[in-house]
Amino acid sequence: MPFEPINPPQFPTPIAPYSAGAKAGNTVYVSGVLALGEGGVVLHPGDAAAQTRAVMETIRITLEAAGATMADVAMNHIFLKDFADYAAFNAVYAEYFPGSKPARYCIKADLVKPDCLVEVASVAHIG
């Protein structure tokens, strides 16, 4: 099945060869999202909550560009640089999923930029 790349025009140029998302049938895949601005500058260094909000907003915008919403998210893949940020991450994350909660996993990992504290990739099913 062919897929449609999803690249909202307001996003900065990706730091690597990828699309922000891809839509295949009724499924939307959102690439791993970091809190990055133009030129790959890390947003909100040292603030896991603010980085989480930036990440979740990027996911929301990508999903909307594909015709989906946060309520369509079925799975999240979560990477934290330090589990000390787990509570701050969850406090913001919960705001984006007030109803049914998607499946997820959370692992500790080094991220592509040393000042990045949070990365999330999502899978949504429309309909």
DSSP string, 55-107: HHHHHHHHHHHTT--GGGEEEEEEEES-GGGHHHHHHHHHHH-SSSPPEEEEE
How much is the pTM? Answer: 0.95
pLDDT of residue 13: 77
CATH no., domain 4-125: 3.30.1330.40
**Domains of the chain, residue spans:** 4-125
Spatial separation of the C-alpha atoms in residues 80 and 119, rounded to whole Å = 7
User: Could you read off the pLDDT tens digit of each residue along the chain, which spans 127 residues?
Assistant: 689 999 998 887 787 899 999 999 999 999 999 999 988 899 999 999 999 999 999 999 999 999 999 999 999 999 999 999 999 999 999 999 999 999 999 999 999 999 999 999 999 999 8
pLDDT of residue 2: 86
pLDDT of residue 105: 98
In sequence order, the 6+-apart residues with CB closer than 8 A to the CB of 44 are: 35, 50, 51, 54
